[in-house]
A and B are shown apart, each in its own frame.
Chain A
């Protein structure tokens, strides 16, 4: 197996800003995605801080309720489309070619474009904060008729969503083409690392649902400006139809944000347990089942809209079914750890916290599937607790685990392990302090998306706010650790981790600009 690093036949590359603007190199673009995602993580995080500061105690102390709604809306849009999704695409860009022994992504120029659309999309979106009428405040779900009351920000919202969708679709096409065509000789589909598998499936989900979202928001646009009435009851339209279309996108979107996380965790646990992944085939089939089921459960987001009984029953049963493949995944991770020889470096700590806390989010998800109980949970803080458990200690912890895991491969240096562990413990404790009490206030009757609340919810909200501030500021450690690691530190070996297996660990650290010019052969 060769790790060709020669560059003679590559044209000289521009340096400085032009290098980043014009790059078609999967590693450069991966880095761009990841840095962009980190930036957006802090922007969206700052909005979360505004939200938690206002909710620290009852009464309105800091912001107007309208601005509060802008914060919740923008926080969600930025975290979903700006932080989590680009982070996964960045990891895919860096790691998929390295894991399958390909020299680069299949469509490098498309790759450049799909990244560079994003800064424009988010400039459009963030610019709305400075407009008369402010940013969109109707929730990231953009339900009409409320969203149609948005002021000047409305077309900016729609077009930025269009751009994000374009970027995602192009990224997804690229990943599929790369995986289908550029695997090293001998790497059959069922020999692919699980991260590659989960991304392959995620990419199909993206291609299937992003156009649906684009269609839905375009109909909103024509409803507002061109006199159509798709969702306006007064014109014969149907506001609930939007919710069906939106969640037909939205539920697969949820899995778009978690399947790659499953992939990362399935790479990390075997490495640090020094034991092969338990039930590889079952993991692949479970991922595929989850993806399939994600298309037939969308209406569980809307059990209170007044669906026919048969519809409610169908969506309840289908939703409960998801627990089966998800359970298989969790059991397999535990079985992978069982009788391993574990060590607990930062990536493993984040992976273990992922398994614990994502599972808690899974449990509350199962509870939410029970329709009669959902009539109480729906649109309460219980839901906020649920989806933050699967997204923050779920998706975000998996991303952090992946970053710590592969950072030595990217930079050639080991990150500061002590600081990494400190970051982990601060994050793991504060994330629970933030989101666990939300279960309680939700069950006790606190609706979501409110800027002020009745006094009986005060205690747990204060706890959640304290947790949120600790969590927010802890992330500065993460950024600092990455920055330090990029600039220097102990030299990393090719394999980096004692128990690491796979093609990405056969190339030097840092991974040279061009790798696998000659494909490796997989036995």
Chain B
């Protein structure tokens, strides 16, 4: 028996040595555990996680230990004679009661943290977060600032099938956006989460959790980041084709810098009330393209050249995920081609209607609430004149406004 034991101990030791030998080569990327995060709640969550994990490990050592002893000692090949016992009320009561005690001991701190997590009162700043397929929209409730936050262009290029771009060369691949949510350090930030289409879930691990964004509901989530920095996460609820490509990035700024950011991004023209009203129907400074940062002084006249130019950029960020960069669509997924399609080469009114209002019951969202008149005019013009389409139609922002 001891012979067998030594043989097995030898094997286990060899395996452990192998594991250990691999350690030095391990890069920082072999991340094993939950991050502690940068909020009070995320720290509590981390502690709870480690506590319950520790409890599990302890139980595992006892149970697996007994099992392993039994496997090595109580084997027929060692001449073991089976005992005949088949129950013991005493033992059974013990191993029912002990787990109950452990569970109660776990439940108390868990409930305690949960109560604090759910307390969204007394927030310093509120941001309405709306999930879209596949981007986030942020609206600073009292500031009149609102914008979309998309996957950044570099990740977006690299993530196309067979893009030929090595993801390791892209900074923060899939975890970067064109326009992050910006909040001040130390402030209690309350998020009001909802969705425009399907269910999404807003998750930044460093803030200790996630919350679903559900159409027709407004959910609340709060965090209070203790350290300035950039914190990254992703949509956590399957939301369709590009679910893996709608990151969440939050930039936590020192208070003074945040105030400057607010001042820079506040629409300059309006008083608070009218700002709100203006922001409501069309959160125009969409952030879809970087230069779309609100007040461009004295825009040049609407022209084919200008529309096609803007349209190409906007198409890449708003349409290409489904209809594909070349307008060929994706038949296998049910996304129709635009190149040569009856819609993009047919009556212009119908085309505008679909772009503004969407097609109910399909993945085609209405882009009316997401884009400004000018942006939509650019996109529709582009679609009607790009690739093999050459209708020559120039759609104007006024056409879009009339169709709304």
Identify the stretch in A29-37, A108-116, A192-200, A329-337 within 8 Å (CB) of chain B at 4 or more residues. Answer: A329-337
A449 within 8 A of B: yes
Contact with A along B317-349 (1 / 0, CB 8 A): 000000000000011111000000000000000
Taken together as a complex, chains A and B put the C-alpha atoms of A1 and B96 apart, in Å, by: 39
Q: Within the complex, what minimum Cβ distance (angstroms) separates B164 from chain A?
A: 9
Q: Which of A119-127, A259-267, A270-278, A292-300 contacts B (4 or more CB under 8 A)?
A: A270-278
> Within 8 Å CB of B83, what residues of A?
275, 338-340
Q: Which residue of A lies closest to B237 (CB)?
A: A379
**Within the complex, which residue of A65, A237, A306, A320 is in contact with B244, where a contact is CB–CB below 8 Å?**
A65
> Of the candidates A237, A320, A373, which one forms a contact with B45 in the assembled complex, judged by CB atoms under 8 Å apart?
A373
Q: Interface with A: B113-121, B281-289, B392-400, which one?
A: B113-121
A interface list, Cβ under 8 A from B: 58-67, 69, 132-134, 137-139, 143, 145-146, 148-149, 151-152, 224, 233-234, 237-240, 273-282, 304-306, 309, 312-313, 316-317, 320-321, 323-324, 327-328, 330-331, 334-335, 337-344, 352, 355-356, 359-360, 363-364, 366-367, 370-373, 375-376, 378-380, 440-441, 443-445, 447-460
- With known contacts A278-B85, A313-B111, A453–B63 Cβ distance under 8 A: no
Query: Contacts of A441 on B, CB cut-off 8 Å?
Result: 31
B216 touches A239 (CB 8 A): yes
Contact of B48 among A274, A331, A373, A456 (CB under 8 A): A373
Please measure, in the bound complex, the distance between the C-alpha atom of A66 and the C-alpha atom of B63, giving whole angstroms. Answer: 44
Q: Are A440 and B31 also in contact (CB < 8 A) when A278-B85, A278-B86 are?
A: yes
Given contacts A334-B70, A460-B30, contact A134 B103 (CB under 8 A): no
A66 near B332 with CB under 8 A, answer: yes
Q: How far is the CA of A317 from the CA of B361 in the complex (A)?
A: 39
Contact yes or no, A359 B63, CB < 8 A? yes
Residues of chain B having any CB pair with chain A under 8 Å: 27, 29-35, 41, 44-45, 48-49, 52-53, 56, 59-60, 63-64, 66-67, 70-71, 74-77, 80-88, 91-92, 95-96, 99-100, 103, 106-107, 110-111, 113-115, 117-118, 158-163, 165-168, 170, 172-175, 197-199, 201, 203, 205, 208-212, 214-217, 219-220, 233-245, 330-334, 361-363
**CB pair B100 A60 closer than 8 Å:** no
A145 touches B160 (CB 8 A): no
Residue contact B201 to A372, C-beta cutoff 8 Å: no
> Can you list 18 A-B pairs, Cβ within 8 angstroms, ordered by A?
A58-B173, A133-B332, A137-B333, A149-B362, A239-B217, A240-B214, A306-B217, A306-B220, A312-B118, A316-B111, A317-B107, A339-B82, A341-B82, A342-B75, A366-B56, A372-B209, A375-B209, A447-B235
Given contacts A139-B238, A275-B82, A380-B236, contact A338 B74 (CB under 8 A): yes
| Shortest distance from the beta carbon of A247 to any chain B beta carbon, whole Å | 14
Contact among A323, A367, A455 with B103 in the assembled complex (CB-CB below 8 Å): A323
**Which residue of A is nearest B331, CB measured?**
A132
- Is A454 in contact with B45, judged by CB distance below 8 angstroms? no
Known pairs A306-B212, A337-B71, A455-B170; list 17 more (Cβ under 8 Å).
Answer: A60-B159, A64-B161, A69-B241, A274-B82, A278-B87, A279-B87, A306-B217, A324-B99, A338-B70, A339-B74, A340-B83, A342-B70, A342-B80, A440-B31, A440-B33, A454-B175, A459-B29
Q: In the bound complex, do residue B211 and residue A304 qualify as a contact, i.e. CB atoms below 8 Å apart? A: yes
Q: Which residues of A contact B168 (CB under 8 A)?
A: 58, 455, 458
Q: A198 to B197, alpha carbons, bound, how many Å?
A: 43
Q: Is the CB of B107 within 8 A of A282?
A: no
CA distance A461 to B41 in the complex (A): 29
**Structural contact, A340 and B74, CB atoms closer than 8 A:** yes
Q: Is the CB of B27 within 8 A of A305?
A: no
Q: Knowing A149-B240, A149-B363, A356-B64 touch, does A343 contact B86 (C-beta < 8 A)?
A: no
What residue of chain B has the Cβ atom nearest to residue A320's Cβ?
Answer: B103
Could you tell me the distance between the alpha carbons of A366 and B88 in the complex, rounded to whole angstroms? 27
Q: Which of B63, B64, B111, B161 contacts A60 (CB 8 A)?
A: B161
Tell whether, in the assembled complex, residue B333 and residue A133 are in contact, meaning their CB atoms are under 8 Å apart: yes
Which residue on chain A has the smallest CB distance to residue B336?
Answer: A132
Contacts of A67 in B (CB 8 A): 332-333
A309 to B115, Cβ gap below 8 A? yes
State whether B244 touches A282 (Cβ < 8 A): no
The docked-state distance in angstroms from the alpha carbon of A341 to that of B198 is 57
Residues of A within 8 A of B30 (CB): 440, 459-460
Residue pair A145, B76 in contact (C-beta under 8 Å): no
Chain B residues, CB < 8 A from A239: 199, 214-217
Q: Which of B95, B106, B115 contacts A320 (CB 8 A)?
A: B106
User: Do the beta carbons of B173 and A455 come within 8 Å of each other?
Assistant: yes
A373 touches B74 (CB 8 A): no
Determine if B31 and A334 form an interchain contact, defined as CB atoms under 8 angstroms apart.
no
* B241 contacts across to A, CB distance below 8 A: 64-66, 69, 137
List the A side residues contacting B70 at CB < 8 Å: 334, 337-340, 342
Q: Which residues of B contact A454 (CB under 8 A)?
A: 172-175
Whether A338 pairs with B242 at a CB distance below 8 angstroms is no
User: Could you tell me the distance in whole angstroms from the C-beta of A61 to the nearest C-beta in chain B?
Assistant: 7
* Residues of chain B contacted by A359 (CB below 8 angstroms): 60, 63-64
Query: Which of A151, A281, A364, A445 sits near B233, CB closer than 8 Å?
Result: A445
* In contact, B117 and A334 (Cβ under 8 angstroms): no
**Complex contact A341–B87 (CB within 8 A):** no
A138 and B86: CB pair below 8 A? Answer: no
Q: What residues on A are CB-neighbors of B48 within 8 Å?
A: 370, 372-373
- When the two chains form their complex, are residues B208 and A375 in contact, meaning their CB atoms are under 8 A apart? yes
Residue of A61, A224, A273, A328 touching B92 (CB-CB under 8 A)? A328
Who on chain A is nearest to B240 by CB?
A: A146
A316 CA / B104 CA spacing, docked (Å): 11
Contacts of B34 in A (CB 8 A): 376, 443-444
Q: Is the CB of A444 within 8 A of B33?
A: yes
B119's nearest neighbour on chain A, judged by CB, is A309
- What are the residues of chain A within 8 A of B100 when measuring CB–CB? 324
A443-B33, A454-B174 given as contacts; is B91 within 8 A of A335 (CB)?
yes
Q: Given contacts A148-B361, A276-B86, A306-B214, is CB(A371)–CB(B110) below 8 Å?
A: yes
Chain B residues closer than 8 Å to A132, beta-carbon distance: 331-332, 334
Q: Which residues of B contact A148 (CB under 8 A)?
A: 361
Q: Is the CB of B198 within 8 A of A149?
A: yes
B95 contact from A69, A146, A328, A448, Cβ within 8 A: A328
Contacts of A143 in B (CB 8 A): 198-199, 237-238
Q: Closest CB-CB distance, B139 to chain A, in whole Å?
A: 19
Q: How far is A238 from B199 in the complex, measured between Cα atoms in Å? A: 12
Shortest CB–CB separation between residue B361 and chain A, in angstroms?
Answer: 7
A331 to B99 Cα, complex, angstroms: 11
